[in-house]
Each structure stands twice: as C-alpha cells, then as structure tokens.
Amino acid sequence: MKRVVALTEAGRRLGERLAAALDDAELWYRPEPFVERVQQAFQAGDALIMICATGIVLRAIAPVIISKRQDPPVVVLDEAGRFVVPLLSGHEGGANELARQLAELIDAQLVITTANPYLQPVYCVGMGCERGCETSELHGLLETSLASAGLGLVQIDSINSIDLKADESGLIALGEMLDKPFRVFDRQRLHKEDALLSTRSDYVFDTVGVYGVAESAALHAARVLTGNTPELVLAKQKSKRATCAIARAYPSLDKQP
C-alpha cells in the first residue's frame, strides 16, 4: 500500500494527482494524530509519499527506523511538485524506483543522493543443485526467482556456481538454452562473500566447502564483473533439488560505456 501524505492545501492537490495515478495508493490529508499514523503505516510496511518538509518526515519516522533491508520506501516531495527525493530505503526498499515513477508522473526533478544511483546495476544469478538435476527444474526455479525479484531474463548477465559444478549437465544446458554464460568459481574465491550471505549452512559447508553455493556464486560474479561490493537482490530460493539466488553490483563510472 502507498500512503500519500499531505499537510497543506497545495500538497493536497498534488497528492490527489499522485493517488489517482498510482496503483494501490491512498491520500491522507492532515492525518491525526500525525506522528502516530505515519509510524503505524511505516511499521506496516506501507510506502510513504510525503508532501512536506524533510525535517517533519525524519522526526516522525526516526523512532521506528530499523534497517535498509527491512524498512519500507519513503519519498519526499515539495508541495509545488518540483522535486522528488527518495529519503529512505533507496536501493533495497525501492524508494529510488518509486521516486523515478513519481518524477515522471508530474515532470519533476528527481534528486537521488544514494551511491551511483544513475548507473545500471549488473545482475548475476547463482545456482546450486544436486548431481543430475534436470534442466527443466533449474529453469523453473530460475523463472520463479526472477519473478520474485521483479527482474527479467534480459537483465541477467550470467549464471554462476561453484567449480565442483563445472561439468553439471543441467546447468550447462540451462546456460546454452538461455544464451547466458555459465561461470564457476573455486571455494577460495567464494569465501570472499561469506559476510554478505543471508544465511550460512554448515551442512553445505561440510559437503562442498562453502556456506552457500547460490548466494556466494551470485555475489562473487557481480563483484568480478564490476569491481565493486555486491549485494543480494534475492536470497537463496529452493526447489526440490536446486537453489537459486540473485545479486547485483554497480559498475564504477570509469567502466560505463
């Protein structure tokens, strides 16, 4: 749910335009009690589109902020609709993308302050599987994972795994079928991503020597391609015999075409 919050008459008029144009959006004009209702919406996971001063927003939500991986997106606009600023959860929560949509709707200036917001991220898939896993199962898991992450196959650079899977016929065939490179990395390189994993599996470590094949491979592939620190877009997903994760990293300016 998107909550469009306005505090002035000019803000209300802008808020009506936004609420009418957006899916699943509701306008709150001078909600009372203001702080309590805004905090409740924030804690419920609602996206906040605040047409008011940034300071007002910060003072209202500061007590309930948890982390960039959990907090919903918060976007601030001035009442004249000249500027749109993603304030909280830019990359992870989707505030940057929401702000872009709003700026396009009202022909406003988008002001993004997070690192490298104007660069296109590189997305990489990591996959692990039991020996002999069918290509159809791998393909199905990949499609489900992409849908969960809101991504399309065209955005994916490559499919990646541990070097123990270099001869895995299902993964090789998947890469060929989708016309995506299939790359593998040894355990030493995958261990560089241990701190970025969403979970660590002792069972997987005892079996193949890393704490998570899919997440580690996705993260490391994105790091290699960009030279920058990667992040998980989609934590490990499972099917009966396979796992899949998606990571991204932002290229440096000097690597842009």
Report pLDDT digits (tens) over 131-167: 999 999 999 999 999 999 888 999 999 999 999 999 9
Task: Enumerate the β-bridge partners of residue 160.
Answer: 126, 183
Where is average pLDDT lowest: 7-11, 21-25, 134-138? 21-25
* Confidence (pTM): 0.57
pLDDT, mean of residues 197-219: 89
Distances in Å between the Cα of 170 and the Cα atoms of 147, 166, 214, 236 are: 21, 10, 15, 19
Q: Is the pLDDT of residue 90 over 80?
A: no
Digit-coded pLDDT (tens) for 33-56: 999 999 999 999 999 999 999 999
Tell me the percentage of the chain whose pLDDT exceeds 70: 93
Q: What is the pLDDT of residue 66?
A: 86
166-196 per-residue burial string, b: 16 or more CB within 10 A, e: under 16: eebebbebbbeeeebebbbbeeebbbebeeb
Is the domain defined by 2-110 classed in CATH 3.40.50.11220? yes
Q: Out of 3.20.20.80, 2.130.10.10, 3.30.2320.80, 3.30.420.180, select the CATH number for domain 122-255.
A: 3.30.420.180
3-class secondary structure, 163: helix
Q: List, by residue range, all CATH 3.40.50.11220 domains of the chain.
A: 2-110
Q: Which residues pair with 233 in a beta bridge?
A: none
Coarse DSSP helix, strand, coil percentages of the chain, rounded to the nearest 5 percent: 45, 25, 35
**Which residues in the chain are classed under CATH 3.30.420.180?**
122-255
